[in-house]
Amino acid sequence: MKLTRVLEVVKKNKYRPNFHFTPPQNWMNDPNGLVFHEGAYHLFYQHNPFENKWGHMSWGHAVSKDLIHWKHLPVAIQEDETDMIFSGSVVVDWKNTTGIGDCKIIPLIAIYTGHRKIDGQQYQCLAYSIDDGRTWCKYKENPILDINSKNFRDPKVFWFDKQNKWIMLVALPVEKKISIYSSHNLIDWNHLSYFKSSINVEGNWECPDLFPLKLNARTTKWILTLSIIKGGITGGSGMIYFIGDFDGDSFVEIGDELRTPNWIDYGADFYAAVSYSDIPSRDGRRIWLGWMNNWNYADNAPTSPWRGMLSIPRELSLRSIDENIKLIQKPIVELNKLHKREFSTNKFSITEINDKLSGSNNSSSPFELLVEFEPNNSKDFGVSIKNGIGEGISCGYSMDTSIVNLDRTNSGDAEFSEKFNAIHSAPLKLKNGKLLLHLFIDASSIEIFCNDGEVVLSDLIFPNGEINLVELYSDSNSLRINIFSIWEIQNI
């Protein structure tokens, strides 16, 4: 390959992630149809097969054995002359309730929103696959559910074993309601109830999900999650969750009225996350991943020949904190397989650790960082990560406000949006007098898990060169570092 061609490829892939999922080329947004089947995790996603911008919505497709290494497959469900293919879900029809399979073939069923091009009408449609998702046929009698609306989308379907029926949630975005339906065959649907919260959140509702999580051996709660267009805590896209109970007909949230929203991620770039269906019971985890982008600037992010990436996969759980139940997100353990060289130290002062970091040429990008601070008399402390020209991010904590901050105001290219440069903040109490930060830094993103996933901040960054110069800071020498490890991460 000629040198000019090599330089062109490098320039185009300047921000290509090393261990986050991206399409080979062109546009990607919401993850869709996350399902485990025949030993593999299927990932479908909103995709424009023709351009590096939103449009021609179809379902891209990839599969993985471990949620880390992905094999790209051809477009699964493609737009046709009448409809674009919007978000939805995929389930394994184990009992052949649709009648599409037989005793030997267990079909995969996709239920998605059809968006009629001529007038913007939205309705729910069905497609099926009898070859493990490699080819898909659209149901001849689509749509299967139509309420004559232009804002009726993003179906999430699951099997409710207690009542031997399918449940489907569909968003009514403008009305800020979730419509709940049931079916015995995935084709004929009966309306059950609406969910509408007392919490006042700006922006339209999208991409609902509903699933149970155990709080302890005796208590299980149901979690309803939503994505909010331009109503997020950072001023753009965002996600919230509700904790409650589901009886097969309606979801009832618990908690006081007029409380503040439960934000899923306090960064700007985590949206439209949905969880996997049909993960085997022997595994037992609830796993999801979200779109790392924000509708404030998604169309203009400076990447080529692709645009759009997904977060690392996260395991979900519940934890009781200060008599409140909170949704916890932690990186899946499979990510440990990507560890290469490890740098750790038994030095416990910032000065000693920073000296050792500078003497070792610091880390190589991409990398994972785990650090535990014990502040003692320190009021402000944290970690900064930069490149050789001073671009980068910092993650700091203030004892006076009990707030953790992620500052990307000097993280590199931000000319594409006046809304990109910002400091994102989250309320967070110390845990037993300590702060644990778990950071994943890739070519164009950072994800920070605080206190074992109690708070998460996820942001895109576009530095002009690898950010790999790590430095700890504090306003007091009394601060102690209990844990400090860096792992280089393999490129997938």
Q: From CA 36, how far away is CA 108, in angstroms rounded?
A: 10
Reply yes or no on whether 30 is catalytic.
yes
Q: What DSSP letter does each residue of 417-460 carry, written as one string?
A: -TTSS-EEEEE---BTTBEEEEEEEETTEEEEEETTTTEEEEEE
Enumerate residues 6+ apart whose C-beta is below 8 A from 402. Answer: 427, 428, 429, 430
Catalytic residue among 30, 83, 93, 407: 30
CA distances from 242 to 187, 214, 271, 410, 449 (A): 28, 15, 16, 34, 20
* DSSP category for residue 337: G
Q: What DSSP letter does each residue of 114-125 carry, written as one string?
A: EEETTT--EEEE
Helix (H) or strand (E) holding 12: helix 3-12
Q: For residue 102, list its beta bridge partners.
A: none
Enumerate residues 6+ apart whose C-beta is below 8 A from 79. Answer: 56, 57, 58, 85
- The burial class, CB within 10 Å (0-12 / 13-18 / 19+), for 13 is middle
Contact between 267 and 424 (Cβ < 8 Å): yes
Please identify every residue annotated as catalytic. 30
